Structure 1
Amino acid sequence: MSKQIISSLLLPMPDDFPVAPYEIIHSRYSQRKDSNLMLWKQCAGAWNAVAYRFLSCTEHDLNYTQYVRQGSADPSHANVYLQERELFGFFITGLAAIESFYYGIFAIASMIKNVDFPFTTATDFQKVKPIRTAEKFQSSFKHEDIANILQQVINTPEFTEWNEIRNILVHRILPNRHYYLGGDKHNQTLWEKGIVIDINTTSTRRKWLAKKLNDLLTSAASFTDKYLQ
């Protein structure tokens, strides 16, 4: 964990979180606070959530990895519980960071084109999903880089996996574990969707999350610089 700080929150963030573009976007939408307080509140809430959820996801990643290392010497039910607790939090908060970004950028777009991006009622808020945000940007800002990046992220197999695992954990089951002795999977432990349970389970996915958030926030910073001056 690094000492970089989000100035608007006074919150220490991990060194793989893109603080610079995050703060550019915050400064741009905040200029519209007096002209549309409701939209500003939605933007601010979403942007705060992006940072909070990523920080939580990072903590779950670090804790999970610690428990897996301990579990190699003590494969008890108590240790498995700790691993599962962190996996649950990791997948939920990681996906929430992305979904909060899509919600926030929809609110920002509503500041620019409120007819194309309706955002005034509770029903409007509930309709905002990553796929709808991407579709709206493709139709209203198709020549902007962010329109392509919004679509690219949700088309990745990693996003699909993250979404499926989150839904399974929240709405369905505690996944079984399959332990292998012998053969080409000797000493492997497989989880839901064939995910390998080891010290890399969360760290590799966190790298993907940080990279995609960087892509999204960097493109959004350019977008807000252009349209929210």
Structure 2
Amino acid sequence: MTFCAELCIELPDNFPVAEFVAFMAEARRVLLPGGSKSEAWKEFAGASNLIAWRYRASFDAWREHRISIQAHGGGRNHEDVYQQERALFLAFAAGVSSIESAAYALAAAASHATVCGIAFTSKEQRACSPSRLLTWLSPYAKAAALVAALHALVNASEWAIWVNLRNRMTHRSNLPRRHFASVGAPAPQVNPLNYAPTSSTPEVDADLDDWDALHQWLAHQLRALLVSGTELLREP
């Protein structure tokens, strides 16, 4: 873990701390002119805090789930299963939230008159998402780097996995676990994360390293958004 003086908490080593600190410094310069709080800052401040908080929550939950799977497989009893499902849900809910918080903070920053001056009234605030931010910023040449980062994010198969599994576990069902057994032969070897498809999610047949890589991907996307967001704020 790496201590982030900006937030006074420890963050996972793969979280882009330096890029986050640079992003916040540039945002203060632009959105707090003369020390006064702009309307853009009022929406930016809360969302920008969540970028790192939610990533830390997702990382912690995934680590908890990983440890339990390694120690107990699919769970020794109903309590184990509950704890594993709780951690898995939190990992995906908080992971998606970290990206969505970044998109909201970037939209708020882009609404400042000296940045892009995009509309960000209560209507846009309620509708804000990475894909909508991509649409809002596409007409602005100065936002080209951020538009490219958003385009890569929303069109990535990894993002579809994050969002679809988050949505499924949020208000539809847990992921349906598969259980394997054999009669008269050793039990078959299967991946520790094995879930049947649902009406809104594909089959999941993965090992723990696959899902570690999914977290690395998330950190990489946050880094790209923060770097390109900082670049946008620095543009004259």
Amino acid at match of 1:109: A
Offset of residue 85 of structure 1: 0.7
Offset of residue 142 of structure 1: 6.5
After TM superposition, the runs of 4+ consecutive aligned structure 1 residues lying more than 6 A away are: none
Offset of residue 112 of structure 1: 3.8
Q: Residues 72 and 115 of structure 1: is their aligned pair in 2 closer, same or farther, counting only changes over 3 Å?
A: closer
Q: Which residue of 1 aligns with 2:56?
A: 55
SS at match of 1:196: strand
Alignment check: 8 A CA contact 2:115 2:232 kept:
no
Task: Tell me which moved more, 134-143 or 210-219.
Answer: 134-143
SS at match of 1:190: strand
Inter-partner Cα distance in structure 1 for 2:204 and 2:172: 17
Amino acid at match of 2:190: N
Structure 1, gaps ≥5 residues long: none
Alignment check: 8 A CA contact 2:6 2:21 kept:
yes
Q: Which residue of 2 aligns with 1:175?
A: 175
Offset of residue 198 of structure 1: 4.3
Q: Which residue of 2 aligns with 1:28?
A: 26
Amino acid at match of 1:167: N
Inter-partner Cα distance in structure 2 for 1:170 and 1:197: 21
Q: Which residue of 2 aligns with 1:195?
A: 204
SS at match of 1:111: coil
1:44 matched to 2:45: yes
Offset of residue 203 of structure 1: 1.7
Q: Which residue of 2 aligns with 1:4?
A: 3
Amino acid at match of 2:108: A
Inter-partner Cα distance in structure 2 for 1:99 and 1:140: 21
Q: Which residue of 2 aligns with 1:211?
A: 220
Offset of residue 29 of structure 1: 1.7
SS at match of 2:2: coil
Offset of residue 36 of structure 1: 4.6
SS at match of 1:51: helix
Question: TM-score scaled by structure 1?
Answer: 0.87
Q: State the identity %.
A: 25
Inter-partner Cα distance in structure 2 for 1:17 and 1:78: 31
Alignment check: 8 A CA contact 1:16 1:210 kept:
yes
SS at match of 2:208: coil
Offset of residue 37 of structure 1: 3.1
Inter-partner Cα distance in structure 1 for 2:215 and 2:225: 15
Within-5 A mapping of 1:122-161: 122-141=122-141, 144-161=144-161
Amino acid at match of 2:220: K
Inter-partner Cα distance in structure 1 for 2:14 and 2:119: 33
Question: TM-score scaled by structure 2?
Answer: 0.85
Within-5 A mapping of 1:60-139: 60-72=61-73, 75-112=76-113, 117-119=118-120, 121-139=121-139
How many corresponding residue pairs? 222
Alignment check: 8 A CA contact 1:90 1:202 kept:
no
Q: Residues 144 and 197 of structure 1: is their aligned pair in 2 closer, same or farther, counting only changes over 3 Å?
A: closer
Deviations 1:12-64 (A, max 9, x none): 21111111121111112223224553311211111101010001011011101
Task: Tell me which moved more, 149-158 or 110-119.
Answer: 110-119
Alignment check: 8 A CA contact 2:74 2:81 kept:
no
Alignment check: 8 A CA contact 1:65 1:202 kept:
no
